[in-house]
Structures are given as structure tokens and as C-alpha cells.
Structure 1
Amino acid sequence: MLALCTTAATASADAVVKWLHLELNPEYVKIWRGIADKYQAEHPGVKVEMQFLENEAFKAKLPTLLQSADAPSFFYSWGGGVLKQQQATGALKDISDKMKADGGAWGKSYNPAALKAVTFDGKVSAVPYKMGTVSFFYNKAYFTKAGVDAASIKTWDDFLGAVKKLKDAGIVPIAGGGGEKWPIHFYWSYLVMRNAGQQGFDAMKTGAGDGFVAPEAVKAGEQLAQLGKLEPFQPGYLATTWPQALGVFGDGKAAMILGFETTEAFQRRNAGDGKGLASDNIGRFAFPVVAGGAGKATDTLGGINAWAVTAKAPPETLDFLAYLTNAENERMMAKAGMILPAAVGAEDGVTNPLLRESAKQLETSTWHQNFFDQELGPSVGRVVNDASVAIVSGQMSPEEGAQAIQDAVEMDKM
């Protein structure tokens, strides 16, 4: 462990470290609690309090909470523009000096891409925790029944062809979570990446050229609209939450789901019988490329998550975070199937076959992009999510969706 701030002998009396999370899996929380309890035993006088908020409530209440006397010491962050804005408001602590101390020992203990994702204008305000990538998971039995070969799905046209085959076989192709909107933005975001490539997306978000009304962004919307016209999702998907969508997949009511690296574990938890699909009945493939696009098959979309440290957090917070995210503890969390670790040296803890596939994809990623709704900040991110759902459901044209996002970008700059 990196001893950054305190030791058992120097910890201030009754120091309370408040940990705000949004983890729903009780087994994962139990592992965290065990780490915290062990830390407390080694650091008398330090108490780690775990606090929970549900995902949407977390997003809604956090801005107010950060300005209150009840602000947590640290909290879950998706990084990107949201974290940058929180840093700009003064709500977060600058921990750059701690990361750079002793030749940068603490900072070097994390994957460079993970640390870069929480660094803005040279300042670090969050501790890397995990990395992840979004990909398709599928029911092998349904693919066999419909005559679909997952290995042959390389292009967007291949994917649309698979959707049609599944429908012809009487199988709902995709479990969709349109109720929370952000699960649908994965499709539009990936299509933008595949059409524009990294250089093109960087130009969009910095306002160069046509911004988000660039031809590549409109094309992404057209391709998403193509998918929507096939009616690929289960009935009522526009009111379906993400946990419910995982349940739809786990209950065998849809053949595919575009989701996080933890999809296998969470489909079990959300399935009606609590068991879901057997592990050997779940396959995985990367989001396809598009014909003529600048993006690569090895470009990935996914989270780079971290623990953001609040401005008034007690100094013991940093010591605990160094402990929580050290290679030993991250390896243990990886073995439990919780994370793809950000800590260097913890990679060998990833033993689950599907998680290993995600880890290998990240290892060979040519461009790992944080979720658009996080990267672009909360105001623009909400419009990205809204527009993605509106386009796929036919409520908005691809051009209108692109313009709405560009308008939000320009408004955010005012």
C-alpha cells in the first residue's frame, strides 16, 4: 500500500471517511466492506462509512450534495466532462501533488489511460478504479436457431442482417433499455466512432468544422434509424430500465444486448429466476465497423471509472483510496468478477472467460473513448441520450438529432 497521508499511529482521532457509491450487488458491497473493515483494523481512529444512492438519484442529487455539509469524502465517477465540470466548480480536491510524490509512485500504479482520463489541465481530482468496454452479448442457442454466426458479424450491414434473421426465426433480436435513455446512446456513440474515427470525433467535440452536424454524425443517425425501422427491441423498450433490459436478456426474451463487461453477472441478478442464462450459453462480439468509415474495429467505447475526492475530504481519504485501489485489492475484485482493474499488476485477477475477452479487447484497443454522455458534460450528455432514443424510435430525424446535439454544445459554451 502507498502510505500517502496517515498511518495507524498518526491517523487523527475519529476521522470519518464517507464513501458514496451506487453499487446494487450485495456481494460486491460485501467485498468492499471487508476491505474497509480490514483498513479500519489497521488504522485505529479512522472510520469508513459506506453510503448508497441509486444510479438516477445519484446523478440528480450529487450536484446539491457536493455543496452541502453532508458532502461525501469520495464518490463514484464516470470521468469525462462531468468530472471536469465538478473540478472547475471547486467541489473537488486537487490530488496532483500526491499522485506525483516520490517520483510519481502513486500515479504510476495505474494504467496510464485510466489516469489520463481523470486529469484535466494537469490536475488530478479522482483516483482510477476500473476500466470497461461496451460490446454485444448474445444467446448462443438463439443464434444457432436463427442460423446466425456471430463470428461473421464484422460490419453494420452484417449486424442488420443478423437482426433480420432473428426476427424471421420469431426471436426478439435485442433487449433495449430506452427508459433510462443512456443505454441507447451506446449505439449512436459507437456509430459516430466507426464513421468519424478518433480525429473526426475530436474535431466534433472541439467545435472544429461542422461540429456534431458533420456528415459522419448525420450518417451515424441514419444507421441508427435503419436499426430502429427493423423494430429490433422487445415491446415496451422505451419504458424499460437498464436492470429490466438485463432481465429481458437473462430471461431469454431477447437474443442480444449491447452492454458493459459485467453483463454476464448482472443478467443473472436481474433474471426472473435469479439464475439467468448459463455462462456457456453467452457469447460476445465487438461492435461492428461501417463501410467507408474512418473508425477501426479495435476502437472501443467504455467507462474509465474513478473515485472523485471532494474538496473538504479528510486527509485520511487519500490513504484509504490508495489502499482500496492497490493491486492486491483490485486483483481480488477482479477475481470476483467485479471489475477490469485500473491498477497495474492486477490484470491476472481477471479469470472469468467473458471478462477476459473484454480485458483482451482493451489491451489491444487503438482508441478507448469514454461514454459520450460523460465525455461531453451533463448538459450535452442529456441531449445525446435524448436524441439517440428519438432517432431510433423515429421521433426525430438523423439531421434533427445531430442539430439538437450541436445546439446543446453551443449553448454549453455560452
Structure 2
Amino acid sequence: MKLIRKATGLALAASVVLSGYAMAETVTMLHEENKPEQQALWDTFAEEFESMNPGITIEQQYMENEQFKAKLPTLLQSDSRPNIFYSWGGGNFAARAENGLLDDVTAKSAELKDILSAGGLSAFSHDGKIYGVPYTLAQVGFWYNKALFEQAGVSGDDIQTWDDFLVAVKKLKTAGITPITLGAADKWPVHFYWTYLAMRTGGMETFNAARAGDVSWDNPDYVRAGELFAELVELDPFQPGYAAATYGDASGRFGDQVAAMHLMGDWEMTVQKDNAADKVGVPLDQLGFFSFPSVEGGKGKGSDTLGGVNGFAFAKDGGTDAAVKWMTYFLDAPQQERLAEAGVIIPVAKGAESAVKDSFRKAIAANIAAAEWHQVFWDQALGSDVGGTINDFSALLATGDATPKEAVEMLQEAWDFR
């Protein structure tokens, strides 16, 4: 009997030790950016979480954007992959899920579903399974310089349709002002024009039908999108050397106040200052924003938005209980509200949107909330091969080196051979 009791006692002690060891876990989280004000809040969240969850350590790692993109594919297939990594929604995310590089956390997602919008979570789901979580939203639209607009007799509030937009471009040129700055060398900034026009001409129905294979990408609506873009290009609206300019060059030119408009995401509000020669850029009181114009006779709605749903994905075997618990805390409304109040993000947590203080982000949050269709950037949504083709032909359209018909033929061919 004593032997049995002794053995039982040893077993219980071993159980306690093993249980304690199992609770001791380091959750690694790989970020794609490292803005000081954002990192400070992330570090605070980690410290708060660790104090409430003894035994769990949060290790946050950072990589510069291009380095992140280059190293991530190899990293995800190595033993040193993180639990959680920064991710865009879209084709690459879906491909990673299909190839077994992500962890299905659907069974552990009850609390995540309670705090996050269904639309946001859907961007990080595939075939009905949840592999990641949204973090912030973004909208692309036209940033403009109010002083330059005033010089040309243009009002941003009056630009509602594509025809209105072309009239504004002509007025700016007449006033001797460069209407638009463009970084065509990077290609992706140009794809905002063609894809937005395709959204306006074809609408969500055509886009979804093309993805499903029910209609060709080589269709009249998308040919018309290229024709409308060609109308703009014919006005010579961009700065000299735009074909060789990078995004940073174009952003700096806008910040230097030598071009009136820049079609870019909401991040441009701060990035244009960083890229300006004086590091001041366009003062906030002289900065304006309007959504991409509607197209008369188009199937799409002027309220439909193009942008990002950026977030984090769980790497293979990385969606542990501790990792999911951390992300639930990280994304809960109190944390997202603090980030929103600091002007860092447009939040995705339910109820956190009220914490957005900046007038521009508040307006953009309202735009996205009102949109029936918020489409992730096409060069991400359709995968790298098809997305790369869209970027390629968009740049060719911007320089007049491809026709609208040739552009959609390139798109259909890329889709067929993806």
C-alpha cells in the first residue's frame, strides 16, 4: 500500500511539473513594419498580456518590407518559422493555406469571432476555415493639395464622376500645375487606376464571375476600364519622368507640393511628409482626400472601395492555444482603440471605430463601413502571377505601350496559366 501511495505521489508530482512546463511557452510574432509609435504600443500590449498569463512570453520580431517579402517563403518552410506572421489577404494567403503552410484555428476562434467583424475574418479564411486574423483596413483614394486646387479653381468636393475628374485635370494643367504624381516604375501604384476603373465599369458581379470562370477577364467592361484610363493618359497629367519614378519619388513630389494629386492608400497622409525634402510635406490643413470617382453607366457603385485588409496569419503548427489567446487580447477593442487614438490604424475590432480621432481616417473608416464591396488590392487578391500581370499591363497602359484590349488579353492569359 505504501508503495502504491508513493508511486501515486510521484505520478502526481510529475504531472504538476509536466503541466507547468507545458504552460511555459514563447509565442513568436513576425511584423513587416517597425514604426516607433506602433511598436511602443505593441510592446505595452505584450507586457500586459504576459503579466496576466504567467508562463507565456511574447517575442516580437521585425523585418523591413522588402526583406520580409524575400525571406518569408523560405522561413515558413523552416523549423524557425514564427507562430504568427504579418500577412495580406488574397491569393498568396489562400495558396499558403492550400499548401499546408498555415494552421487552421477555426476550432479555437470563438472569442475571435466575438470581437472581430465577419467581413474582416473572411479575408483570412479559406474554404470555411480560419487561418489568420485582420488587424487594420486601408482605402485607396485621391490625396490632393488644397492650395494648388484653389490656384486652378478646382474643388475636391465637386469631383464625383470620372468626367468631373478629367475636367479637374485639364484645369490644373491650364494653371501650369502638374495634376498628378505617379511612381510607374514600381508598377503597383499604377494598378490602382485600372483596377478601380474595372470596379466601376464591371462591378462586384463581373469580378466574382471572372474569378469563378463564368465570364472571361477579356470582357467589354474591362476593355472600357482601359479606355477610360487611356483618356487620362492622353491628357499628359503626370510629372516628367513618371515612367522611371518609384513610389517614394512620387510621394516625395506630392509632399514637396509640386503636384496636385496622388492616388494612394491612407498611409500617404504620413508617408508624404517622410518623403518630402523638408520632412514637413503638405500641412494637414492643406491636405484633402476624395474617393475614386464613379463612372457613368458603369455597373459598379461609386461607394465601392479598393484597399487592404492587412493582418496576421498562423504559421503551420503555430496556432497554439497560447498564440490564439495572445491574438485575441492583441485585437480586442481596448487595444485597437489605443492604436486608433494614436492614429496608427483603422481598427477592425467591433466598436473600436469610435476611437478614430483623425478626421481623414475617420472619413475613410466611414467610407469602408458604407461600402457594399471593399475589394482587396487585385495584385494581392488574384495571386502573385496574375497580380504581377495586372501591374505590368497597368504600367504599359500608363505609357501608351499597350492597348486596352491587349491589357485584358494579357490578364486572361495569365489567369489561364496560373
TM-score under structure 2 length normalisation: 0.91
1:216 to 192, 215, 221: 221
Structure 1 CA distance for aligned equivalents of residues 101 and 170 of structure 2:
49
Asked if 1:68 is matched to 2:74, the reply is no
- Give matches, 1:9-88, under 5 Å: 12=22, 15-88=25-98
Structure 2 contact 111–328 (Cα < 8 Å) conserved: no
Taking structure 1 as reference, are residues 43 and 393 closer, same or farther at Cα in structure 2, changes over 3 Å only?
same
- Give matches, 1:152-191, under 5 Å: 152-191=158-197
Structure 2 CA distance for aligned equivalents of residues 122 and 358 of structure 1:
29
Deviates more, 1:156-165 or 1:39-48: 39-48
Give the letter aligned to residue 65 of structure 2: N
Structure 2 partner of 1:286 = 291
State the Cα distance separating 1:37 from its structure 2 match.
Answer: 2.8
Structure 1 contact 17–314 (Cα < 8 Å) conserved: no
State the Cα distance separating 1:250 from its structure 2 match.
Answer: 1.5
TM-score under structure 1 length normalisation: 0.92
Structure 2 contact 91–384 (Cα < 8 Å) conserved: yes
Give the letter aligned to residue 58 of structure 1: F
Give the secondary structure class of the aligned counterpart of 1:141: helix
Asked if 1:272 is matched to 2:277, the reply is yes
Give the secondary structure class of the aligned counterpart of 1:259: strand
State the Cα distance separating 1:344 from its structure 2 match.
Answer: 0.3
Deviation digits for residues 341-372 of structure 1 (CA, Å, limit 9, x no counterpart): 11001111101011111011112112111111
Structure 2 partner of 1:126 = 132
Structure 1 CA distance for aligned equivalents of residues 251 and 365 of structure 2:
21
Structure 1 partner of 2:3 = none
Structure 1 CA distance for aligned equivalents of residues 412 and 20 of structure 2:
52
Percent identity between matched residues is 42
Deviation digits for residues 288-328 of structure 1 (CA, Å, limit 9, x no counterpart): 11121011111111111121110132622211111111101
Structure 2 CA distance for aligned equivalents of residues 390 and 49 of structure 1:
44
Taking structure 1 as reference, are residues 36 and 178 closer, same or farther at Cα in structure 2, changes over 3 Å only?
farther
- Give matches, 1:242-321, under 5 Å: 242-313=247-318, 315=320, 316-321=322-327
State the Cα distance separating 1:408 from its structure 2 match.
Answer: 0.7
Give the secondary structure class of the aligned counterpart of 2:237: coil
Give the letter aligned to residue 382 of structure 2: L
Structure 1 partner of 2:145 = 139
Taking structure 1 as reference, are residues 46 and 288 closer, same or farther at Cα in structure 2, changes over 3 Å only?
same
Structure 2 contact 120–133 (Cα < 8 Å) conserved: no
Give the secondary structure class of the aligned counterpart of 1:179: helix
5+ residue gaps, structure 1: 1-8
Give the secondary structure class of the aligned counterpart of 1:159: helix
Structure 2 partner of 1:195 = 201
Taking structure 1 as reference, are residues 105 and 28 closer, same or farther at Cα in structure 2, changes over 3 Å only?
closer
Structure 1 CA distance for aligned equivalents of residues 122 and 247 of structure 2:
29
Structure 1 CA distance for aligned equivalents of residues 346 and 327 of structure 2:
17
2:367 to 332, 337, 361: 361
Give the letter aligned to residue 280 of structure 1: D
State the Cα distance separating 1:10 from its structure 2 match.
Answer: 6.2
Taking structure 1 as reference, are residues 314 and 377 closer, same or farther at Cα in structure 2, changes over 3 Å only?
closer
5+ residue gaps, structure 2: 1-18
Give the letter aligned to residue 334 of structure 2: E
Structure 2 partner of 1:94 = 104
Structure 2 CA distance for aligned equivalents of residues 330 and 365 of structure 1:
21
State the Cα distance separating 1:391 from its structure 2 match.
Answer: 1.0
Give the letter aligned to residue 131 of structure 2: S
Deviates more, 1:329-338 or 1:10-19: 10-19
Structure 2 partner of 1:337 = 343
Deviates more, 1:109-118 or 1:401-410: 109-118
Structure 2 CA distance for aligned equivalents of residues 108 and 238 of structure 1:
47
Structure 2 contact 103–319 (Cα < 8 Å) conserved: no
Asked if 1:229 is matched to 2:234, the reply is yes
Structure 1 contact 11–43 (Cα < 8 Å) conserved: no
State the Cα distance separating 1:148 from its structure 2 match.
Answer: 0.8
Deviation digits for residues 141-166 of structure 1 (CA, Å, limit 9, x no counterpart): 00000111111111112111211211
2:396 to 383, 390, 394: 390
Structure 2 contact 202–221 (Cα < 8 Å) conserved: yes
Deviation digits for residues 380-400 of structure 1 (CA, Å, limit 9, x no counterpart): 111111111111111211111
Give the secondary structure class of the aligned counterpart of 1:148: coil
Taking structure 1 as reference, are residues 167 and 96 closer, same or farther at Cα in structure 2, changes over 3 Å only?
same
- Give matches, 1:3-14, under 5 Å: 12=22
Deviates more, 1:224-233 or 1:337-346: 224-233
Structure 2 contact 90–383 (Cα < 8 Å) conserved: yes
Structure 1 partner of 2:352 = 346
State the Cα distance separating 1:28 from its structure 2 match.
Answer: 1.9
Structure 2 partner of 1:109 = 115
Structure 2 CA distance for aligned equivalents of residues 105 and 49 of structure 1:
22
State the Cα RMSD in Å.
Answer: 1.8
Give the secondary structure class of the aligned counterpart of 2:45: helix
Structure 1 CA distance for aligned equivalents of residues 116 and 319 of structure 2:
23
Deviates more, 1:116-125 or 1:48-57: 48-57
State the Cα distance separating 1:44 from its structure 2 match.
Answer: 3.5
Give the secondary structure class of the aligned counterpart of 1:154: coil
Equivalent residues, number: 399
Give the letter aligned to residue 52 of structure 1: Y
Structure 2 CA distance for aligned equivalents of residues 58 and 240 of structure 1:
23
Structure 2 CA distance for aligned equivalents of residues 51 and 404 of structure 1:
39
Give the secondary structure class of the aligned counterpart of 1:173: strand
